[in-house]
Every structure is written in structure tokens, then in C-alpha cells.
Amino acid sequence: MTELSQPQPTKPPRSQWLDVWEQFRQHKGAMMGATLFILIVATVYLGPYLWDIDPTKTAIRERNQGPSWAHPFGTDQLGRDLLARMMAGGATSVSVGITAMLLSLFLGSFVGVLAGFFRKLDGPLMRLTDLFLALPLLPLLLVMMLLFREPLNAAFGLERGIFILIVSAIGITSWMPTARIVRGDVLALKEREFVLAARSIGTTNTRLITRHILPNVLSPIMVSATLGIATAIITESALSFLGLGFPPDFPTWGRLLQDGTDYLQQFPERVIWPGLAISLTVLSVNYLGDGLRDALDPRIRGR
């Protein structure tokens, strides 16, 4: 008997995640998005160590200045340094935006997948979604603030308490579209042949959802994510405007944009900076999402 020469693998098997990473790295847009995103995050979190002007320090003699070496972004109507304010505001806005977006995404996908996948849950969960869609936002937020502000402040301190409150307020009031969209896709997906095939070989529901359903609804989720960040940053500013957000001496991008709108004609740069910052953050997340989606799609991998 001749020995059948089994070809020996020369390399360890490639893991799926390694493939994804390879693909992701070769994706030009994704790398650009990632770089930009890291840059923004680094600037807003590490920048204040290099540019150590206090963002709330007023200097009346230097108010309404244009860009200069002392104040590269100029100063606002109280002489506060705009660069420092942009960085301090960014730290808040980026963290609120990302956290709230993740929360809303998680809630939305969770409800959407459950409702789409389990027929029994579809009715109740979708009626719940209808209910949340119908609730008027402002009274809901007011009630949340009324009930939870003091306990949260007592438990976590002022800033963190408000952070938790704002993030959950935004998360709880913005998951519904994601849920509806994900559910729509899941409804169609679960009737596809590959799900049937997976089910017929005895795949459990949990595995079905995580391995077969979720990866296939990733693209609407990614779109929701990018749009969600922008919505969260803007909603935060609307909350502050209503007096439901951070204390008034706390700059955020949304608030800087809102304050700057009044001075649009005199000092246009004052709205350009925060507007640009929000747009760039959203763009970078968008490209990241695109890259991630492409990388996770085995059909176009290696193309």
C-alpha cells in the first residue's frame, strides 16, 4: 500500500478574524476613516495637555478675536479660547455621541433581531416600538430628569451622573428606527435557504442569530451607527439648550455650534469649527463602518 501523501499544512490555519483584519487594512477608506477618527479622539483627549488654556476662563479684553497665534481658532464673545473650548467640547461630544450611539444601536438591534426572528415576540416588541415612537420627546426627557437626576448625581457625582442620564436619554429615545429596520431585514433573511439549511443541521437559535442573521444585517446597522452619532451630538446640544443637559459652563460641539449661529454673519469661523468637527467625526465613523462591512462580507473578500 502506498501511503497516501497527505499534504501537510505549512502554515497554521488562518482564523476568520485575521482575514477580516487583512481585508480591513487594505481598505483605503477604512484606514483613512480610522486614522481620522483616532486623530480626532487623540486631539480632544490629549490636546488639552498640550494646549492648557482653561476653556471656561474669560478674558474680556480679548473677546471676539479672529485667529491669532495666541488663539489659533479665535475667541468667543466672553474672550474664551475657542481651541480650548473645541477640545473640551469634543471630549464631551465624542464620548456622548459614541456611547449613546452604541446604546441605541444595541437596543435597536436587540429588539429588531428578537422581533424579526421570533414570531411570538414580534407583536409585543413592535407595539412597544410604536409606543416609544409615539411618545413626545420633551416631556419624556423632563420626566427622566425629574426622576433620575438627583439619585444619579448623588450616586456618581455631578458630571458623571449627567453623562449617564444624557446618554441613556438619547439611547432610549433613538433606538426605534434601528429596531424597525433590522426587524424588516431579519424577517426576509430568516426565510432564506441558508438559514433553513443551518436550522436543518440543528443549529441553535442563539448560534443562528449570531452567526447567520447578525452578519447579514450589518450594513443597515452600520448606517444607523453613522447617522446615530450625528444625531446624538446634535440631540445633546438640544438637551443643553433646554437646560436638560450639562451645566452651562460645559462646552460641547453642539452647544458651540448653537451659540455660534447667532454670530454667523460677524464671526463665521465660530460655527465653522464645531460644524467641521462634527462632520469629520461622522465622516470618519462612516468610512470605518464601510470598511468594517466590506471586511466582514466574505463574498467580496479578496476581491
DSSP-derived 3-state class of residue 277: helix
Q: What residues contact 302, with CB distance under 8 A and at least 6 apart?
A: 23
Convert residues 204-223 into a mask of x (bound to another protein by CB under 8 A) and - (unbound). Answer: ------------x--xx-xx
Q: Do 187 and 119 meet the contact criterion of CB atoms below 8 Å apart?
A: no
Tell me the closest approach of the beta carbon of residue 12 to another protein, in angstroms.
29
The DSSP call for residue 15 is: P
275 binds another protein per the rule CB under 8 A: yes
Question: Among 18, 68, 70, 127, which residue interacts with another protein (rule: CB under 8 A)?
Answer: 127
Q: What residues contact 289, with CB distance under 8 A and at least 6 apart?
A: 33, 222, 223, 225, 226
Report the residue number, 64 or 95, with the smaller CB distance to another protein.
64
Tell me the closest approach of the beta carbon of residue 276 to another protein, in angstroms.
9
Query: In Å, how far from its chain's centre is CA 35?
Result: 17
Q: Do 233 and 278 meet the contact criterion of CB atoms below 8 Å apart?
A: yes
Residue 254 cell numbers, joined: 453642539
77 binds another protein per the rule CB under 8 A: yes
299 binds another protein per the rule CB under 8 A: yes
20 binds another protein per the rule CB under 8 A: no
Tell me the closest approach of the beta carbon of residue 152 to another protein, in angstroms.
13
The interface region with another protein, picked from 66-74, 88-96, 119-127, 205-213 by CB under 8 A, is 119-127
For Cα atoms 44, 263, 141, give the angle at the middle one, nearest 5 degrees: 60
> Residue 8, Cβ neighbours under 10 Å: how many?
5
154 binds another protein per the rule CB under 8 A: yes
44 binds another protein per the rule CB under 8 A: no
Question: What one-character-per-residue DSSP string does 160-190 give?
Answer: HHHHHHHHHHHHHTT-HHHHHHHHHHHHHHT
Tell me the closest approach of the beta carbon of residue 278 to another protein, in angstroms.
5
Residues in the interface with another protein (CB under 8 A) total 82
39 binds another protein per the rule CB under 8 A: no
Report the residue number, 29 or 67, with the smaller CB distance to another protein.
29
Tell me the closest approach of the beta carbon of residue 1 to another protein, in angstroms.
42
Q: Choose among 58, 117, 63, 48: nearest CA to 266.
A: 63
Map the footprint of another protein across residues 169-198, applying CB under 8 A: 176-177, 180-181, 184-185, 187-188, 191-192
109 binds another protein per the rule CB under 8 A: no
Tell me the closest approach of the beta carbon of residue 204 to another protein, in angstroms.
22
Report the residue number, 87 or 141, with the smaller CB distance to another protein.
141
The DSSP call for residue 8 is: P
